[in-house]
Protein backbone atom coordinates (compact mmCIF):
# COMPACT_ATOMS: atom_id res chain seq x y z
CA UNK A 1 0.00 0.00 0.00
CA UNK A 2 1.23 3.53 -0.80
CA UNK A 3 1.63 5.54 2.36
CA UNK A 4 -0.27 8.78 2.92
CA UNK A 5 2.02 11.45 4.33
CA UNK A 6 1.00 14.32 6.59
CA UNK A 7 3.24 17.35 6.36
CA UNK A 8 4.46 19.26 9.42
CA UNK A 9 3.56 22.68 8.03
CA UNK A 10 0.03 21.57 7.33
CA UNK A 11 -0.43 20.19 10.83
CA UNK A 12 1.17 23.20 12.48
CA UNK A 13 -0.96 25.71 10.63
CA UNK A 14 -4.17 23.70 10.82
CA UNK A 15 -4.17 23.07 7.10
CA UNK A 16 -6.84 20.48 6.32
CA UNK A 17 -5.63 17.31 4.61
CA UNK A 18 -8.77 17.37 2.54
CA UNK A 19 -7.70 20.65 0.93
CA UNK A 20 -4.40 19.20 -0.21
CA UNK A 21 -6.24 16.18 -1.52
CA UNK A 22 -8.62 18.37 -3.45
CA UNK A 23 -5.71 20.28 -4.98
CA UNK A 24 -4.12 17.05 -6.11
CA UNK A 25 -7.36 15.79 -7.59
CA UNK A 26 -7.59 18.93 -9.69
CA UNK A 27 -4.21 18.31 -11.32
CA UNK A 28 -5.13 17.26 -14.87
CA UNK A 29 -1.88 15.59 -15.83
CA UNK A 30 -0.18 14.13 -12.78
CA UNK A 31 -1.56 12.33 -9.74
CA UNK A 32 -4.90 11.44 -8.22
CA UNK A 33 -5.18 10.93 -4.46
CA UNK A 34 -7.86 9.04 -2.55
CA UNK A 35 -6.25 8.59 0.80
CA UNK A 36 -3.74 5.95 -0.32
CA UNK A 37 -1.49 8.12 -2.49
CA UNK A 38 1.55 10.24 -1.87
CA UNK A 39 3.95 12.01 -4.17
CA UNK A 40 7.70 12.02 -3.88
CA UNK A 41 9.42 15.26 -2.99
CA UNK A 42 11.35 17.28 -5.52
CA UNK A 43 15.09 17.33 -5.96
CA UNK A 44 17.53 19.17 -3.71
CA UNK A 45 17.50 22.26 -5.94
CA UNK A 46 13.73 22.59 -5.65
CA UNK A 47 13.88 22.20 -1.87
CA UNK A 48 16.64 24.79 -1.58
CA UNK A 49 14.79 27.25 -3.82
CA UNK A 50 11.56 26.74 -1.88
CA UNK A 51 13.28 27.30 1.43
CA UNK A 52 14.93 30.46 0.14
CA UNK A 53 11.58 31.81 -1.06
CA UNK A 54 9.84 31.18 2.26
CA UNK A 55 9.69 33.94 4.87
CA UNK A 56 7.69 33.01 7.91
CA UNK A 57 4.12 32.35 6.77
CA UNK A 58 4.74 33.71 3.30
CA UNK A 59 6.16 32.34 0.11
CA UNK A 60 7.49 34.47 -2.77
CA UNK A 61 6.38 33.04 -6.10
CA UNK A 62 9.22 32.37 -8.54
CA UNK A 63 10.06 29.94 -11.37
CA UNK A 64 11.31 26.59 -10.11
CA UNK A 65 12.11 23.12 -11.44
CA UNK A 66 11.06 19.95 -9.59
CA UNK A 67 10.56 16.22 -10.10
CA UNK A 68 7.22 14.44 -10.33
CA UNK A 69 7.24 11.17 -8.44
CA UNK A 70 5.00 8.39 -7.18
CA UNK A 71 5.79 7.02 -3.76
CA UNK A 72 5.16 3.31 -3.32
CA UNK A 73 6.02 0.79 -0.64
CA UNK A 74 7.23 -2.72 -1.22
CA UNK A 75 9.76 -5.39 -0.43
CA UNK A 76 13.04 -6.64 -1.81
CA UNK A 77 13.21 -9.92 -3.65
CA UNK A 78 16.01 -11.87 -5.28
CA UNK A 79 15.83 -11.92 -9.05
CA UNK A 80 16.81 -15.57 -9.05
CA UNK A 81 15.86 -17.95 -6.27
CA UNK A 82 15.29 -21.64 -5.66
CA UNK A 83 11.97 -22.52 -4.07
CA UNK A 84 12.12 -25.49 -1.72
CA UNK A 85 8.67 -27.06 -1.53
CA UNK A 86 7.17 -29.84 0.53
CA UNK A 87 6.76 -33.00 -1.57
CA UNK A 88 5.01 -35.00 1.14
CA UNK A 89 1.27 -35.55 0.81
CA UNK A 90 -1.01 -34.63 3.67
CA UNK A 91 -0.02 -32.07 6.29
CA UNK A 92 3.12 -33.35 8.05
CA UNK A 93 4.65 -31.21 10.78
CA UNK A 94 8.14 -29.74 10.64
CA UNK A 95 10.28 -31.48 13.27
CA UNK A 96 13.57 -29.79 12.40
CA UNK A 97 14.46 -26.75 10.30
CA UNK A 98 17.56 -24.68 9.71
CA UNK A 99 17.57 -21.22 11.23
CA UNK A 100 16.37 -18.44 8.97
CA UNK A 101 19.11 -16.11 7.83
CA UNK A 102 21.83 -18.74 8.00
CA UNK A 103 23.98 -19.60 5.00
CA UNK A 104 23.93 -23.22 3.85
CA UNK A 105 26.16 -25.19 1.54
CA UNK A 106 24.96 -27.63 -1.09
CA UNK A 107 23.80 -30.83 0.59
CA UNK A 108 23.17 -29.27 4.01
CA UNK A 109 19.94 -30.24 5.78
CA UNK A 110 17.24 -27.61 5.35
CA UNK A 111 14.30 -29.19 7.15
CA UNK A 112 12.89 -32.53 8.21
CA UNK A 113 9.21 -33.49 8.30
CA UNK A 114 7.55 -36.07 10.50
CA UNK A 115 7.76 -39.48 8.84
CA UNK A 116 6.30 -42.08 11.25
CA UNK A 117 3.02 -42.43 9.37
CA UNK A 118 4.79 -42.54 6.01
CA UNK A 119 7.18 -45.23 7.29
CA UNK A 120 4.23 -47.38 8.42
CA UNK A 121 2.51 -46.96 5.07
CA UNK A 122 5.78 -47.83 3.33
CA UNK A 123 6.15 -51.09 5.28
CA UNK A 124 2.58 -52.08 4.48
CA UNK A 125 3.14 -51.16 0.84
CA UNK A 126 6.18 -53.45 0.70
CA UNK A 127 4.10 -56.37 2.02
CA UNK A 128 1.31 -55.61 -0.43
CA UNK A 129 3.82 -55.44 -3.27
CA UNK A 130 5.33 -58.83 -2.39
CA UNK A 131 1.88 -60.40 -2.23
CA UNK A 132 0.97 -58.86 -5.56
CA UNK A 133 4.25 -60.14 -7.07
CA UNK A 134 3.54 -63.67 -5.76
CA UNK A 135 0.01 -63.52 -7.18
CA UNK A 136 1.42 -62.47 -10.55
CA UNK A 137 3.92 -65.34 -10.58
CA UNK A 138 1.16 -67.81 -9.65
CA UNK A 139 -1.03 -66.43 -12.43
CA UNK A 140 1.83 -66.80 -14.92
CA UNK A 141 2.40 -70.42 -13.89
CA UNK A 142 -1.31 -71.20 -14.00
CA UNK A 143 -1.51 -69.70 -17.48
CA UNK A 144 1.43 -71.85 -18.60
CA UNK A 145 -0.30 -74.96 -17.24
CA UNK A 146 -3.52 -74.05 -18.99
CA UNK A 147 -1.65 -73.46 -22.24
CA UNK A 148 -0.10 -76.94 -22.03
CA UNK A 149 -3.43 -78.55 -21.13
CA UNK A 150 -5.17 -76.70 -23.92
CA UNK A 151 -2.51 -77.82 -26.37
CA UNK A 152 -2.88 -81.45 -25.24
CA UNK A 153 -6.67 -81.32 -25.45
CA UNK A 154 -6.52 -79.78 -28.90
CA UNK A 155 -4.06 -82.40 -30.14
CA UNK A 156 -6.23 -85.22 -28.73
CA UNK A 157 -9.28 -83.80 -30.48
CA UNK A 158 -7.31 -83.42 -33.71
CA UNK A 159 -6.12 -87.06 -33.45
CA UNK A 160 -9.66 -88.26 -32.81
CA UNK A 161 -10.87 -86.34 -35.85
CA UNK A 162 -8.03 -87.67 -37.95
CA UNK A 163 -8.81 -91.25 -36.90
CA UNK A 164 -12.50 -90.77 -37.67
CA UNK A 165 -11.62 -89.39 -41.09
CA UNK A 166 -9.25 -92.32 -41.70
CA UNK A 167 -11.93 -94.79 -40.64
CA UNK A 168 -14.35 -93.14 -43.06
CA UNK A 169 -11.86 -93.33 -45.90
CA UNK A 170 -10.91 -96.91 -44.96
CA UNK A 171 -14.57 -97.89 -44.99
CA UNK A 172 -15.25 -96.11 -48.30
CA UNK A 173 -12.19 -97.34 -50.15
CA UNK A 174 -11.62 -100.61 -48.36
CA UNK A 175 -14.47 -102.17 -46.44
CA UNK A 176 -17.17 -101.21 -48.92
CA UNK A 177 -15.20 -102.46 -51.91
CA UNK A 178 -14.24 -105.66 -50.11
CA UNK A 179 -17.75 -106.32 -48.92
CA UNK A 180 -19.22 -105.71 -52.38
CA UNK A 181 -16.61 -107.96 -53.93
CA UNK A 182 -17.37 -110.66 -51.39
CA UNK A 183 -21.11 -110.42 -52.04
CA UNK A 184 -20.61 -110.37 -55.80
CA UNK A 185 -18.32 -113.38 -55.56
CA UNK A 186 -20.88 -115.23 -53.48
CA UNK A 187 -23.50 -114.37 -56.09
CA UNK A 188 -21.33 -115.67 -58.93
CA UNK A 189 -20.60 -118.85 -57.00
CA UNK A 190 -24.28 -119.32 -56.32
CA UNK A 191 -25.07 -118.89 -60.01
CA UNK A 192 -22.43 -121.39 -61.06
CA UNK A 193 -23.59 -123.81 -58.41
CA UNK A 194 -27.17 -123.52 -59.66
CA UNK A 195 -26.03 -124.18 -63.23
CA UNK A 196 -23.93 -127.15 -62.15
CA UNK A 197 -26.66 -128.52 -59.90
CA UNK A 198 -29.11 -128.24 -62.79
CA UNK A 199 -26.76 -130.12 -65.13
CA UNK A 200 -26.08 -132.73 -62.48
CA UNK A 201 -29.77 -133.23 -61.84
CA UNK A 202 -30.55 -133.53 -65.56
CA UNK A 203 -27.72 -136.04 -65.98
CA UNK A 204 -28.82 -137.93 -62.89
CA UNK A 205 -32.35 -138.10 -64.31
CA UNK A 206 -31.05 -139.66 -67.52
CA UNK A 207 -28.89 -142.10 -65.59
CA UNK A 208 -31.78 -142.98 -63.33
CA UNK A 209 -34.00 -143.51 -66.34
CA UNK A 210 -31.37 -145.89 -67.68
CA UNK A 211 -31.15 -147.43 -64.22
CA UNK A 212 -27.53 -146.61 -63.81
CA UNK A 213 -28.12 -144.85 -60.50
CA UNK A 214 -30.52 -145.36 -57.68
CA UNK A 215 -33.46 -143.23 -56.70
CA UNK A 216 -31.54 -141.92 -53.70
CA UNK A 217 -28.79 -140.68 -55.92
CA UNK A 218 -31.35 -138.94 -58.11
CA UNK A 219 -32.93 -137.36 -55.08
CA UNK A 220 -29.49 -136.21 -53.87
CA UNK A 221 -28.98 -134.46 -57.19
CA UNK A 222 -32.39 -132.84 -56.84
CA UNK A 223 -31.61 -131.68 -53.30
CA UNK A 224 -28.33 -130.25 -54.51
CA UNK A 225 -30.20 -128.28 -57.17
CA UNK A 226 -32.67 -126.96 -54.59
CA UNK A 227 -29.87 -125.91 -52.24
CA UNK A 228 -27.99 -124.18 -55.05
CA UNK A 229 -31.11 -122.27 -56.05
CA UNK A 230 -31.69 -121.25 -52.46
CA UNK A 231 -28.05 -120.18 -52.10
CA UNK A 232 -28.41 -118.02 -55.21
CA UNK A 233 -31.46 -116.31 -53.73
CA UNK A 234 -29.59 -115.79 -50.47
CA UNK A 235 -26.63 -114.23 -52.32
CA UNK A 236 -28.93 -111.84 -54.12
CA UNK A 237 -30.68 -111.02 -50.87
CA UNK A 238 -27.35 -110.35 -49.13
CA UNK A 239 -26.41 -107.85 -51.82
CA UNK A 240 -29.77 -106.12 -51.53
CA UNK A 241 -29.59 -106.00 -47.72
CA UNK A 242 -26.07 -104.59 -47.81
CA UNK A 243 -26.80 -101.89 -50.35
CA UNK A 244 -30.10 -100.83 -48.85
CA UNK A 245 -29.30 -101.12 -45.15
CA UNK A 246 -25.80 -102.06 -44.04
CA UNK A 247 -24.05 -99.67 -46.43
CA UNK A 248 -26.24 -96.71 -45.42
CA UNK A 249 -25.93 -97.60 -41.73
CA UNK A 250 -22.14 -97.82 -41.89
CA UNK A 251 -21.98 -94.65 -44.00
CA UNK A 252 -24.00 -92.68 -41.44
CA UNK A 253 -21.96 -94.11 -38.56
CA UNK A 254 -18.57 -93.23 -40.02
CA UNK A 255 -19.67 -89.80 -41.23
CA UNK A 256 -21.26 -89.15 -37.83
CA UNK A 257 -18.00 -90.12 -36.14
CA UNK A 258 -16.19 -87.55 -38.29
CA UNK A 259 -18.78 -84.85 -37.60
CA UNK A 260 -18.67 -85.53 -33.87
CA UNK A 261 -14.88 -85.43 -33.92
CA UNK A 262 -14.99 -82.09 -35.80
CA UNK A 263 -17.51 -80.72 -33.30
CA UNK A 264 -15.39 -81.99 -30.42
CA UNK A 265 -12.33 -80.28 -31.88
CA UNK A 266 -14.24 -77.01 -32.28
CA UNK A 267 -15.57 -77.26 -28.72
CA UNK A 268 -12.08 -77.97 -27.45
CA UNK A 269 -10.65 -74.97 -29.32
CA UNK A 270 -13.42 -72.66 -28.06
CA UNK A 271 -13.07 -73.97 -24.53
CA UNK A 272 -9.31 -73.50 -24.69
CA UNK A 273 -9.73 -69.94 -25.96
CA UNK A 274 -12.20 -69.13 -23.19
CA UNK A 275 -10.04 -70.71 -20.51
CA UNK A 276 -6.85 -69.08 -21.74
CA UNK A 277 -8.58 -65.71 -22.13
CA UNK A 278 -9.78 -65.95 -18.54
CA UNK A 279 -6.34 -66.85 -17.26
CA UNK A 280 -4.67 -64.18 -19.40
CA UNK A 281 -7.16 -61.63 -18.06
CA UNK A 282 -6.40 -62.79 -14.55
CA UNK A 283 -2.68 -62.45 -15.26
CA UNK A 284 -3.15 -58.92 -16.65
CA UNK A 285 -5.16 -58.04 -13.57
CA UNK A 286 -2.38 -59.38 -11.37
CA UNK A 287 0.17 -57.40 -13.40
CA UNK A 288 -1.85 -54.21 -13.03
CA UNK A 289 -2.24 -54.80 -9.32
CA UNK A 290 1.49 -55.34 -9.03
CA UNK A 291 2.16 -52.20 -11.08
CA UNK A 292 -0.16 -50.19 -8.83
CA UNK A 293 1.51 -51.64 -5.74
CA UNK A 294 4.97 -50.93 -7.11
CA UNK A 295 3.98 -47.39 -8.07
CA UNK A 296 2.53 -46.82 -4.62
CA UNK A 297 5.69 -48.29 -3.07
CA UNK A 298 7.84 -45.98 -5.18
CA UNK A 299 5.70 -42.99 -4.23
CA UNK A 300 5.98 -43.82 -0.54
CA UNK A 301 9.74 -44.35 -0.85
CA UNK A 302 9.96 -40.94 -2.50
CA UNK A 303 7.64 -39.53 0.16
CA UNK A 304 9.84 -40.91 2.93
CA UNK A 305 12.95 -39.59 1.22
CA UNK A 306 11.20 -36.23 0.79
CA UNK A 307 10.71 -35.87 4.54
CA UNK A 308 14.39 -34.93 4.69
CA UNK A 309 15.17 -31.99 2.43
CA UNK A 310 18.69 -30.84 1.67
CA UNK A 311 19.97 -27.75 -0.08
CA UNK A 312 20.34 -28.18 -3.86
CA UNK A 313 22.78 -25.28 -3.88
CA UNK A 314 24.47 -22.88 -1.51
CA UNK A 315 22.53 -19.84 -0.43
CA UNK A 316 20.90 -17.71 2.22
CA UNK A 317 17.96 -19.35 4.02
CA UNK A 318 14.73 -17.36 3.86
CA UNK A 319 11.43 -18.74 5.15
CA UNK A 320 8.68 -18.48 2.55
CA UNK A 321 6.27 -17.05 5.11
CA UNK A 322 8.63 -14.10 5.61
CA UNK A 323 8.30 -12.87 2.04
CA UNK A 324 4.66 -13.65 1.33
CA UNK A 325 1.77 -11.35 1.91
CA UNK A 326 -1.57 -12.30 3.38
CA UNK A 327 -2.55 -14.70 6.11
CA UNK A 328 0.67 -16.73 5.90
CA UNK A 329 2.53 -13.94 7.64
CA UNK A 330 0.45 -14.79 10.71
CA UNK A 331 1.40 -18.46 10.39
CA UNK A 332 5.21 -18.36 10.07
CA UNK A 333 7.36 -21.33 9.22
CA UNK A 334 8.63 -22.96 12.42
CA UNK A 335 9.13 -26.33 14.06
CA UNK A 336 5.79 -27.99 14.72
CA UNK A 337 3.99 -26.14 11.94
CA UNK A 338 2.15 -28.31 9.42
CA UNK A 339 2.87 -27.85 5.73
CA UNK A 340 0.81 -28.81 2.70
CA UNK A 341 1.98 -30.73 -0.34
CA UNK A 342 3.53 -28.29 -2.80
CA UNK A 343 3.79 -25.50 -0.22
CA UNK A 344 6.97 -23.44 -0.44
CA UNK A 345 8.86 -23.73 2.85
CA UNK A 346 12.27 -22.17 2.17
CA UNK A 347 13.75 -19.89 -0.45
CA UNK A 348 17.42 -19.91 -1.39
CA UNK A 349 17.83 -16.54 -3.10
CA UNK A 350 20.82 -15.24 -5.00
CA UNK A 351 21.38 -12.04 -3.03
CA UNK A 352 23.89 -10.77 -5.59
CA UNK A 353 21.02 -9.90 -7.93
CA UNK A 354 18.15 -8.17 -6.17
CA UNK A 355 14.95 -6.44 -7.22
CA UNK A 356 12.14 -4.59 -5.47
CA UNK A 357 8.43 -5.24 -5.86
CA UNK A 358 6.52 -2.02 -5.27
CA UNK A 359 2.74 -1.75 -4.99
CA UNK A 360 1.23 1.15 -6.92
CA UNK A 361 -2.41 2.22 -6.65
CA UNK A 362 -4.56 1.53 -9.71
CA UNK A 363 -5.19 5.26 -10.18
CA UNK A 364 -1.47 5.84 -10.75
CA UNK A 365 -0.33 2.73 -12.59
CA UNK A 366 -1.00 4.32 -15.99
CA UNK A 367 1.78 6.84 -15.34
CA UNK A 368 4.36 4.17 -14.55
CA UNK A 369 6.41 3.14 -17.59
CA UNK A 370 9.19 0.65 -18.20
CA UNK A 371 12.60 2.28 -17.89
CA UNK A 372 11.64 4.99 -15.37
CA UNK A 373 14.18 5.78 -12.66
CA UNK A 374 13.40 4.78 -9.09
CA UNK A 375 15.05 5.89 -5.84
CA UNK A 376 14.67 3.16 -3.22
CA UNK A 377 15.04 3.78 0.49
CA UNK A 378 15.77 0.55 2.42
CA UNK A 379 14.29 0.67 5.93
CA UNK A 380 16.72 -1.85 7.40
CA UNK A 381 19.75 0.01 6.04
CA UNK A 382 19.13 3.25 7.94
CA UNK A 383 17.48 4.98 5.05
CA UNK A 384 20.12 4.16 2.48
CA UNK A 385 19.00 5.16 -1.02
CA UNK A 386 19.64 2.89 -4.00
CA UNK A 387 18.90 3.80 -7.58
CA UNK A 388 16.92 1.34 -9.68
CA UNK A 389 14.86 1.08 -12.84
CA UNK A 390 11.32 -0.09 -13.59
CA UNK A 391 11.54 -3.30 -15.62
CA UNK A 392 7.99 -4.63 -15.41
CA UNK A 393 4.50 -3.83 -14.17
CA UNK A 394 1.71 -6.29 -13.53
CA UNK A 395 -1.14 -6.66 -16.00
CA UNK A 396 -3.78 -7.32 -13.34
CA UNK A 397 -4.13 -5.78 -9.87
CA UNK A 398 -4.19 -7.39 -6.45
CA UNK A 399 -6.87 -6.51 -3.93
CA UNK A 400 -6.27 -5.40 -0.38
CA UNK A 401 -7.62 -8.57 1.20
CA UNK A 402 -10.51 -8.86 3.58
CA UNK A 403 -9.40 -5.82 5.56
CA UNK A 404 -9.48 -3.54 2.51
CA UNK A 405 -11.33 -5.29 -0.34
CA UNK A 406 -11.80 -2.11 -2.38
CA UNK A 407 -8.08 -1.43 -2.67
CA UNK A 408 -6.54 -2.30 -6.03
CA UNK A 409 -2.77 -2.18 -6.42
CA UNK A 410 -0.45 -3.21 -9.23
CA UNK A 411 2.94 -4.74 -8.61
CA UNK A 412 5.82 -2.83 -10.19
CA UNK A 413 9.18 -4.57 -10.41
CA UNK A 414 12.30 -2.48 -9.98
CA UNK A 415 15.68 -3.91 -10.90
CA UNK A 416 18.65 -2.94 -8.73
CA UNK A 417 22.36 -2.87 -9.60
CA UNK A 418 24.20 -6.13 -9.00
CA UNK A 419 26.62 -6.73 -6.15
CA UNK A 420 25.10 -4.44 -3.50
CA UNK A 421 26.01 -5.98 -0.15
CA UNK A 422 23.63 -6.24 2.77
CA UNK A 423 20.43 -6.61 0.77
CA UNK A 424 18.14 -9.46 1.75
CA UNK A 425 14.75 -10.65 0.55
CA UNK A 426 11.68 -9.29 2.36
CA UNK A 427 13.45 -6.11 3.44
CA UNK A 428 10.90 -3.32 3.40
CA UNK A 429 11.54 -0.37 1.17
CA UNK A 430 9.95 2.78 -0.17
CA UNK A 431 10.43 3.78 -3.76
CA UNK A 432 10.19 7.15 -5.46
CA UNK A 433 9.25 6.46 -9.09
CA UNK A 434 10.26 9.44 -11.22
CA UNK A 435 7.44 9.84 -13.73
CA UNK A 436 8.37 13.31 -15.05
CA UNK A 437 9.86 16.73 -14.31
CA UNK A 438 8.56 20.28 -14.31
CA UNK A 439 11.13 22.71 -15.70
CA UNK A 440 11.31 26.42 -14.82
CA UNK A 441 7.63 26.93 -13.96
CA UNK A 442 5.84 29.09 -11.40
CA UNK A 443 4.99 26.90 -8.42
CA UNK A 444 3.93 27.25 -4.80
CA UNK A 445 3.95 24.84 -1.85
CA UNK A 446 0.89 22.59 -1.81
CA UNK A 447 -0.31 24.01 1.51
CA UNK A 448 -0.72 27.44 -0.12
CA UNK A 449 -3.49 26.21 -2.42
CA UNK A 450 -7.03 26.00 -1.05
CA UNK A 451 -10.14 24.39 -2.52
CA UNK A 452 -13.80 25.16 -2.07
CA UNK A 453 -16.00 23.14 -4.40
CA UNK A 454 -14.53 23.54 -7.86
CA UNK A 455 -12.63 26.72 -6.96
CA UNK A 456 -8.84 26.79 -6.47
CA UNK A 457 -7.33 29.85 -4.82
CA UNK A 458 -4.46 31.20 -2.73
CA UNK A 459 -4.35 33.99 -0.16
CA UNK A 460 -2.33 37.09 -1.07
CA UNK A 461 -1.82 40.43 0.80
CA UNK A 462 -4.59 42.97 0.25
CA UNK A 463 -2.26 45.96 0.98
CA UNK A 464 -3.94 46.78 4.27
CA UNK A 465 -2.45 44.16 6.56
CA UNK A 466 -5.04 41.53 5.74
CA UNK A 467 -5.30 38.85 3.05
CA UNK A 468 -7.67 38.13 0.23
CA UNK A 469 -8.35 35.01 -1.86
CA UNK A 470 -7.03 34.95 -5.40
CA UNK A 471 -8.23 32.32 -7.95
CA UNK A 472 -5.52 30.24 -9.62
CA UNK A 473 -5.31 27.53 -12.25
CA UNK A 474 -3.07 24.68 -11.21
CA UNK A 475 -1.10 22.25 -13.33
CA UNK A 476 1.19 19.41 -12.43
CA UNK A 477 2.05 18.69 -8.82
CA UNK A 478 4.58 16.89 -6.69
CA UNK A 479 4.33 15.92 -3.07
CA UNK A 480 5.32 19.43 -1.95
CA UNK A 481 4.87 21.78 -4.93
CA UNK A 482 2.00 22.68 -7.26
CA UNK A 483 2.53 24.29 -10.66
CA UNK A 484 0.56 27.55 -11.12
CA UNK A 485 -0.51 27.94 -14.73
CA UNK A 486 -2.58 31.06 -14.28
CA UNK A 487 -3.34 33.60 -11.54
CA UNK A 488 0.10 34.46 -10.12
CA UNK A 489 3.18 36.30 -11.32
CA UNK A 490 6.82 36.07 -10.25
CA UNK A 491 7.33 37.95 -7.02
CA UNK A 492 3.75 37.52 -5.76
CA UNK A 493 3.53 36.46 -2.13
CA UNK A 494 1.12 33.72 -0.99
CA UNK A 495 0.09 32.69 2.51
CA UNK A 496 1.23 29.22 3.60
CA UNK A 497 -1.52 28.63 6.14
CA UNK A 498 -5.22 29.09 6.70
CA UNK A 499 -6.20 32.68 7.50
CA UNK A 500 -6.93 33.42 11.13
CA UNK A 501 -10.45 34.52 12.04
CA UNK A 502 -11.05 37.98 10.59
CA UNK A 503 -7.76 37.99 8.70
CA UNK A 504 -9.32 37.45 5.27
CA UNK A 505 -11.27 40.22 3.63
CA UNK A 506 -13.47 37.73 1.78
CA UNK A 507 -15.01 34.35 2.39
CA UNK A 508 -14.97 31.92 -0.51
CA UNK A 509 -18.15 29.92 -0.80
CA UNK A 510 -18.92 26.98 -3.04
CA UNK A 511 -21.33 27.50 -5.88
CA UNK A 512 -24.86 26.21 -5.25
CA UNK A 513 -25.83 22.90 -6.84
CA UNK A 514 -27.86 23.78 -9.94
CA UNK A 515 -28.65 20.21 -10.88
CA UNK A 516 -32.43 19.66 -11.40
CA UNK A 517 -34.21 17.86 -8.62
CA UNK A 518 -35.91 14.60 -9.30
Distances (CA, A) of 113 to 120, 323, 333, 470: 15, 22, 12, 72
Q: Do domains 8-73+355-414+442-495 and 118-304 have the same CATH topology?
A: no
Strands, E, within 129-252: which ranges? none
What pTM was computed for the model?
A: 0.54
CATH architecture of 8-73+355-414+442-495: Beta Barrel (2.40)
**Domain segments of the chain as ranges:** 8-73+355-414+442-495, 118-304
Number of Cβ atoms within 10 Å of the Cβ of 380: 14
Give the per-residue pLDDT at 331: 77
- Segment 418-476, tens digit of pLDDT: 988 888 888 899 999 999 999 999 999 999 999 998 899 999 999 888 999 999 999 99
pLDDT band, residue 37 (cuts 50/70/90): very low
Looking at the chain, how many residues does it have?
518
Give the per-residue pLDDT at 463: 87
Q: Is the pLDDT of residue 19 over 50?
A: no
Q: Output the CA angle 488-489-495, nearest 5 degrees.
A: 55
For residue 218, give the H/E element and its range: helix 215-241
DSSP state of 108: -
Strand partners, 132: none
Give the per-residue pLDDT at 51: 67
N-to-C CA span, the chain: 40
- Segment 187-223, tens digit of pLDDT: 999 999 999 999 998 998 999 899 888 999 989 989 9
- Average pLDDT value for residue range 74-82: 89
- Whether the CB-CB separation of 308 and 112 falls below 8 Å is answered with yes
- Average pLDDT value for residue range 247-271: 95
Give the per-residue pLDDT at 480: 85
pLDDT band, residue 46 (cuts 50/70/90): low
Higher pLDDT, 163 or 34: 163
pLDDT band, residue 408 (cuts 50/70/90): very high
User: What are the φ/ψ torsions at residue 474 (nearest 5 degrees)?
Assistant: -100, 155
Top-level class of domain 118-304: mainly alpha
Q: What is the CA radius of gyration of the chain?
A: 58
Give the per-residue pLDDT at 508: 81
Amino acid sequence: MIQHRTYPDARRRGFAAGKILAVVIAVPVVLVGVGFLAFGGGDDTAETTTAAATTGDWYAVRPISFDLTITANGELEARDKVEIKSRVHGRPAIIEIVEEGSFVREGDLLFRLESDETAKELEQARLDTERARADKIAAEQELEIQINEADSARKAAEVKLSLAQLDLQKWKKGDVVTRRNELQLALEKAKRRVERAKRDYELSQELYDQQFISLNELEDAEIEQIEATDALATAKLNIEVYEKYEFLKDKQQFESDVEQAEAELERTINKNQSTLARHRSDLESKKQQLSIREQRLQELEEQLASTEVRAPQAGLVVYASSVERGWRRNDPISEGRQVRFGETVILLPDTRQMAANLRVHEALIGQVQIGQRVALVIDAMRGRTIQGEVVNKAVTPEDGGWWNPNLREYEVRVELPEGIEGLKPAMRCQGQIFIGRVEDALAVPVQAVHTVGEKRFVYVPDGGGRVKPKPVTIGRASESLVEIEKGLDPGDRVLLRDPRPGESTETVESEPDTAPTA
